[in-house]
Amino acid sequence: MIDELINFLKTENIFLTGGAGVGKSYAVSKIIKHYKNENLGVVSLGSTGISAVNIGGLTLHSFFGFGICKNKNELSEYDKGSKAKERIKNLKNILDKTELIIIDEISMVSADLFEMIYLRLINLTYKGRVMVVGDFYQLPPITKDQNLDLFQRSIYAFGSYSWEMMRFKNIELIKPKRTKNLEFFKVLSKIRVGKISIEDARYLYGFTEVKFTPSSDETVLFGRNKEANELNVFMLEKINSPLLKHIGKTIINDNLVHKDRIDKWLNNLNVATTFEFKIGAKVIFTINKYKNIIDDSEFYNGEQGVIKDVFLNDGEISEILVEKNNGELVEVKPNNYDFGEYVNEDDELKYSVIASFSQFPLRLAYAITIHKSQGMSIERLTCDLTHIFAEGQLYVALSRAIEPNNLKIVYKKSENFNSYLNRVIKSHKDVDEFYEKTDFLKYE
């Protein structure tokens, strides 16, 4: 399937979609790796700070130089500014060396923003391909009183005139990679499109608990940071061993970059600035790591284990020994996270690192927020629905589960469970219509 996608990209733009846990991120990582191995220029962009970090690139606004513009009229005025000429010239130089632009979390890109992207690409005569990735049934675009213009049919990117002009080959991944339980996957698929039956609601109700006692065996997913932080602190205090700390290290290569930009980037990383833990603490891995010639340790985003020991170098913690839930011991080293920008250097597309941050790719695993769980596959999951209201949040939360036999749903609301489900499980009519009318090539 990856080879076919790469082949399509020689002549066509691609829209890659599918529900949670079907392999979209894996496909993207393989395509990026292929382009880099072939010395082909590839630019990775995210619609939000978190998606940019996850894909290892920049935000759309940063790359395209949109500033705070919300539509093409504002952009037209912004581009008349004193610094615009140099900014646009630099972008043109980068695009001339780019074969592929990947945009992740396309569902959060509004029609207006997509028009701005298209305008930039056309005006700067971009000749490469574009691949947009995401699921319009999940998080919607954040728009404030957007008025649709004559050529827009919806607030979503697909509602823009530019979407039609891109002539995407539409590809949907349909086979679950996260869970092997087909009944659970089918119910999740119905939640995704906002169409659950009484039987589905009854199936979900079977996982509910009113009283909940936290245990070290499971990870609780919360809607807010407050509850997640409190539970992690509570569970850590119960462990009878000394508190250990590892302070992440930030290296700034460009002293002219504004501190706010660095702070915002650090906040989007799925690691703590200061990681506090104890030997015996349960932790969750926050990146995917594969074996290589130098290091044979391997783990996936969301996999869990228990800290068994630490290794010191010059008095500082240099490695953490973690016993994964499958019994395998891995020595975890700090991971380097880079923040930078694309540049045309010596007539070649390069990623220039502005700042780096080094920290262990671990978090305490007793609790985590939905926000920070994106992309994770969690073995023993408990979802606390107390503060889960937003569109798509319930689906994102439940779809983190690998095995429904290890799933619990904490439901303490006075509202009838069926009534709650009918209220929070909704799909947008524009999204329904788009998926119904679009022809997809379906891949397993």
402-420 pLDDT tens trace: 999 999 999 998 999 999 9
What's the pLDDT score for residue 148?
A: 58
Q: What percent of the chain has pLDDT over 70?
A: 97
Q: pLDDT of 275-327, one tens digit each? A: 999 999 999 999 988 877 677 788 999 999 999 999 999 989 999 999 999 99
Domain annotation for the chain: domains and CATH numbers: 2-173 (3.40.50.300), 182-246+272-332+359-422 (no CATH)
In this predicted structure, the answer to whether residue 151 has a pLDDT above a threshold of 60 is no
Instruction: Name the percent of the chain in helix, strand, coil, to the closest 5.
Output: 35, 25, 40
**What's the token pair of residue 284?**
């969750």
Q: List CB contacts of 365: < 8 A, sequence separation 6 or more.
A: 219, 282, 283, 284, 304
What's the pLDDT score for residue 150?
A: 52
> Are 371 and 393 within 8 A, CB to CB?
no
Give the angle subtended at the CA of 298 by the CAs of 236 and 240, to the nearest 5°: 15
In angstroms, the CA 30 to CA 322 distance is: 27
What's the pLDDT score for residue 278?
A: 98
Weakest mean pLDDT among 34-43, 83-92, 148-157: 148-157
What's the pLDDT score for residue 28?
A: 96
What's the pLDDT score for residue 85?
A: 87
Banded model confidence at residue 443, pLDDT cuts 50, 70, 90: very high
In this predicted structure, the answer to whether residue 132 has a pLDDT above a threshold of 70 is yes
In angstroms, the CA 217 to CA 282 distance is: 8
Looking up tokens 């947008």, which residue turns up? 428
Q: pLDDT of 160-182, one tens digit each? A: 999 999 999 999 999 999 999 99
The C-alpha R_g of the chain, in whole angstroms, comes to 23
Banded model confidence at residue 114, pLDDT cuts 50, 70, 90: very high
**What's the token pair of residue 43?**
């630019």
Using DSSP, state whether 232 is helix, strand or coil. helix
Average pLDDT over residues 84-111: 94
Average pLDDT over residues 25-45: 96
What's the pLDDT score for residue 342?
A: 93
Q: In terms of Cα–Cα distance, which of 185, 187, 220, 181 is closest to 202?
A: 187
What's the pLDDT score for residue 289?
A: 84
Buried residues in 51-71 as b, exposed as e (16+ CB within 10 A): bbbbbebbbbbbbbbbbebbb
What's the pLDDT score for residue 191?
A: 94
> Are 102 and 28 within 8 A, CB to CB?
yes
Tell which wins on pLDDT, 390 or 185. 185
Give the angle subtended at the CA of 368 by the CAs of 363 and 371, to the nearest 5°: 110
CA 373 to chain centre: 9
CA 46 to chain centre: 9
Q: List CB contacts of 330: < 8 A, sequence separation 6 or more.
A: 297, 298, 299, 305, 321, 322, 324
Instruction: Compute CA distances 286 → 109, 250, 373, whole Å.
Output: 25, 19, 9
Q: List CB contacts of 196: < 8 A, sequence separation 6 or more.
A: 187, 190, 204, 421, 425
Looking at residue 311, the DSSP 8-state letter turns out to be: E
Q: List CB contacts of 143: < 8 A, sequence separation 6 or more.
A: 110, 112, 155
In angstroms, the CA 220 to CA 207 distance is: 14
What's the pLDDT score for residue 83?
A: 83
**What's the token pair of residue 67?**
């500033």
Q: List CB contacts of 146: < 8 A, sequence separation 6 or more.
A: 70, 110, 111, 112, 155
Banded model confidence at residue 216, pLDDT cuts 50, 70, 90: confident
In angstroms, the CA 112 to CA 103 distance is: 15
Mean pLDDT, the chain, whole residue set: 92
Looking at residue 399, the DSSP 8-state letter turns out to be: T
Average pLDDT over residues 261-269: 91
Tell which wins on pLDDT, 285 or 48. 285
Q: In terms of Cα–Cα distance, which of 168, 157, 118 is closest to 5?
A: 168
Looking up tokens 């990947």, which residue turns up? 102
What's the pLDDT score for residue 81?
A: 85
